[in-house]
Each structure stands twice: as structure tokens, then as C-alpha cells.
Chains A and B, each alone.
Chain A
Amino acid sequence: MQASKQKFTIHKNDSQKRYFERFLSAFFKVTTYLIIALAGYIFVNIAYNGSKALFIAEAPFINIDFLTQKPQTLHVYEPKEIYDQISQLKSAILELKTRREAIGSSDAQASREIQNNIKVLEAQVQALDQKRKADRLLYSDQQHRALAQEPDQSLYHYKNYAYSGGGVGPAIIGTCLLVLGSITIALILGVLCATYLSEYSKPGPMLQLIRLSILNLSGVPSIVFGLFGFGLFVLLFDWGVSMLAGWLTLAIMALPVIITASEESMRAIPKGFREGSLALGASKWTAIRTNVLPYALPGILTSSIMGIARVAGETAPIMFTAAYALRDRLPWEGLENGSDFFFQGVMALPYHIYVVSSKIPQNEYTRNMQYGAALVFLIIVGFFALSSILLRAKIRKRYKW
């Protein structure tokens, strides 16, 4: 009897706390799901809008032109009749709107009437717009030039939009080149540095200082790296806007991540492997080369590729050092000698997205390009990340302890 009574009182006292606990856990849950929903929305949004540029309804289903062609001016021919009707309707709407403004709140009856008229007109505009979209003719620069005969100017209203046609081919190639080059440089420098730090260096204040500087380097804003690369490579070394400058700038940016992660993976290798091979008469370097680096490789590669994939998305470091807004030639076209390859600027997806989103007049056609480029870019970065995971799984299977 006593016991049950006590139990009851405890229950009563606790209920408030328990509600608070429940509320708290629900709050955490909501926050987490909110983040997931947000990330999901961003991805779905880009995928949905981007797929309009990337996929087509006919046979290959992938818009090959978008992936391979250069960005071009879009030439648009709209049926003149419809275009004129829309213009008329639009000006009529504008007129009605100004009239409504003039009336203001003095005559509610008249204002409502005008409002209704506007609505009717807007519906008409929308219907005509559908028709306009179905009947209009779109040509990229290339297609436009190839036309045997331009559409009749009396039937069609002509207009052109820069950067709104063609594709992102050179930008894809440029991004891939930038990523591959910078990953090579960053891997070599990073692994050398990590090897020194984890295997050769003696603990002490100097080592602390080095670690601290590396840590600090990872906190430097990307635009600062961009300016540094611009000042050092582009101006001082006089390389101009070049792929090499971009490689080095991106590599320096990725280095902190790569060094830290590589050092971590090398430290994780059991001491027994080093001792075992030293005891067999291996020199220190031989022991590291044969019994530390191979087993640390999965970790090094994964983190490096992830690091580079992140850095590759940065616009700031390349906008001054390596990226062109538009370049007519592909990197291997029109080279006078081999070394020119390294000293040319390239187009790059992140910079291209930046350009088409904020540097050119916006119109209904740029949207396609923006989202299409963003989707392609996401796919490329995802591909790099995926390949690093697969590579890791494969090497990990070979070396397991």
C-alpha cells in the first residue's frame, strides 16, 4: 500500500520533467530532420531544374550537346503574331494597373473591377505564352550559322541572348583538368609533408608550430588563397591566368586537409610493422615505403579526394588564377608547343555557374544553363567522391590487418 502510494507521487512529480524531456528530444529530432529536408530540397531542386537542360525526351535521353558544346549565344525566333498580342496585352495590363493606382482606395468598387480585368488579361497572356513556347524556334550559335535560310523576319520576332545556348563542355573539361592536376600536386606535397611529420620529426615546440600553421591554413578564406595565387603565380611568376597557377592555388588550399588526414592514417599503422621491417635490416625509408605508406594509402586517398572535391567547388581561388568566363578553344587546341598547355586559362564549372548566374543579363533561358551546369557539377563532384570510396574499399580489401 505504502509502496504504491509512493510510486504514484513520484509519477506525479516527474510528469513535468518528462514532458520537458520529450519536448527536448522532439526539438532535436525536428532540427535534424529540418537539416535533412533542407539538403534534400537543395538537391531535388537542382536535379529537377537541371534535368531540363541535361535530359531530353528523344532517343539518347541525355542532351549530348549540352555536355559537349561551348556556351553560345541563343538565337530565339518567336512567332510575331503571338509576340505582338502578348506585348499588347502586357501594355494593357500595365495601363490598367496605373489606373488602379490612380484610383487608390477612393473607389473600392472601380478598383475591384479593374482588378478583375487584369486577372482576365493575365490569364490570356498565360495561354498565349504556352503557345509561344510551343511555336518558338531556338538556335544555338552553331545551329544558327548552319541554317540555310533564316526564318522569315515578317513572321518571326528575332532576339538573341548571350551565354544562354550551347553547353558546358569546355567547363567540364576545365574542371576535370583542374581537379586532376591539383590532386596530383596536393597528394605529392601532402604525403611528403605527412611522412615527415609522422615518421621523422621529433616532438617539440617546432612540431607544434608546424601543426598550428597547417591548422590555421585550413581556416583561411578561399578568396585569400585566390588573391595569394594571383599575386604569386599570376603576377610575380608572370604565368598569367593559367592552369598551373590554378593547380597550385587549389593544391595549397587542399593541403591542410590532406596533410592532417595522411598523418592520421600513417599514425594508425601499428608500430609492429615498422619495427618488424627495421629488425629485418630495412632502412627507415624502406620500412616506411614498404610497410607504412601502402597500408596508409586507403586513408590518404579517400581524404585527399574528398578534400579536393570540396576545394574543386570553390570559385574564389580560380577566378583570378585559372578560370576564363569564356574560351573558344579547348585546352588541347591550337597549342604552339607542349608547355603552353600549362600556361593557358580554362573554363571551369564553378566559375561558369557564377558567371551565368550573376554576370550576364538574366532571362528565361539562362535559368536552364544555371541549373544544368550546377547539376553537371554536382554529378562530377559526386563521381569523384564515389570513386574515392570505391578505391578505398578496393585497397582496403588488399591490405587488411
Chain B
Amino acid sequence: MEITSEPASEPRRHAIWAAILNFLKYGARSDPRDPKSWFYRHKLLARITHWSNAVILCVMLMSGLQIFNAHSALYWGIASDFDHPILSMTAEQNNDGSLKGITQIGSWRFDTTGWFGASQVDGQWAVRGFPSWATIPGPQWLAMGRLWHFFFAWLFVTNGAVFAIWALASGHFRRDLKPRAADIAHLPQEVVHHAKLQFPKGEAQKTYNSIQRLTYFSVVFIIGPLIVITGLTMSPTMDAAFPILPWIFMGRQSARTIHFICAFLFLTFFIVHMIMVVLSGTWNNIRSMITGRYQIEETGHA
């Protein structure tokens, strides 16, 4: 009796896999044989570079915060005016000896104990800019943070260049990403619609709306290159090779500050991107970025 139960589970396992694949391909509530409600939204190369970038950007951000923690202050200009940082994360000692984390932006001071300036590393309070859960590696380890950052920087540039070249060559850029005059005009109206959580339906789902175009264009073709170039401007060898680099950004320390701002624009983009993915149809969005297939909601149906 026990022997016969083994082969019986085999088709069941196949059925489970088939169901999972079916779900990934077509979703839970749709008819796979109805081509009208399906749209091939993301091409293979876009999907691959998207997910690679997700991993790479995560490592770049977190190893970048590790490097920032080695001197957790930002300045404007060619050099560091140590008495006047535009942002700093420092720590002071309370009367009882405990640490108080202080973040200062211009002349504003905030108590950010536990988050910025002073936080716990493996249960021990430490003076550090960003907390250990946000850095790679977790504990203060500049040499290793630099190794992660400068290895993944090559991947970031390669991945971004592959996507950009493909987008330009395939027409994806011209069709879906290049900002049009109309996008600017549509922007206020679309922002209102998005704020009311009214998302495009039907045919309109087959193209990016103005907010998407402008955002994706800015992130891929402005912030992306900017973060790479400001990163290179921090390299003394690159500055010798290209004196124009520190000149463009009004100095190496300004470039470092802009690099940091770009990193947080990426982070902001990521957070808003996650919110929009969830609000505008979590599984449909995630599935379309894995399989390419996007399910169109018919207009008129609620």
C-alpha cells in the first residue's frame, strides 16, 4: 500500500507546478486563451536589466552608505570646510554616558539617536552615520564597503549601458521613454488622477503615461549618468585625466554631495515605484516584469 502511494504523488506534483506556472503566466482570474486582455508589455532584455539593476542598486546604495559613514558629513565646494558642513551626522555623550545621535542640516539640528549619528551594532551603541542594517557590510568596515561599491559600480554601468543602447536601438526609447511636449502639459492632471488612485484602464495601459515617461526618463538618462559621473569626480586620478569633472560640479566635495543626493533620489524613486506597483495591481505588475505579459483591464467593467 505504501509503495503505490509514491507514484500517485508524481502527477500531483506536476499539477502544482503547472498551476504555479499558469499563475505566473496568466494570473489568477484570467482566461489564458483570450488574447484581447493580454499585452506583451516588457521585452526580455528590459526584464533582465530591470532585475539586475534592482540587485545592483541595492548593493550600491548600501555599500555607499558604508563609505559615507567613514566621514559622515557633506560639504559644498572644492574642499571640506569642516566647521560648516551642509549635512552631518555626529554623536554627543549624554550625562549618563549614553550616546545621542545628532543630524545637522545647515543650522537645523535633530536628535536622531538610533537612526543617524548613533545606533546599535550587534547590541552595542556605536557612533556611526547610517545604522548597520542600512550598510554593506553591517559593521564599520570601509575597505570592504569600497570593494563592494567599486565592483558593483562596473556592473551598474554595464547594465545601464546595455539597457540604454538597446532602448535607443530598439525604439523603446523613442516610443515609451522620450519625453514629449504633451507630457509636460498632461502632468498636473495626471498627478491629480494618481493622487486619487485613478489609474489608466484599457488601451491607455499599453503605453506609459506622462508621469511614467518623465520619471523613467529622468531616472535612467539623467540621475543614472549623473551618479556615475559625480562618483568618478571623487577619484583623484579621474580628476587629473579630466579636469573638467570637478569644474562642472563646482568641486570634488560638491560632486560628493550631488552623488549622495542622486543616491537618495534613487531611493525615493524606489519607494514611490514600490507604492505604485502595489496600488496599480501588484501581481499584474510583478508578473509583467517577470514574464512580460500584462493583463489589460477592460474599460466599462468595474
| A associates with B | no
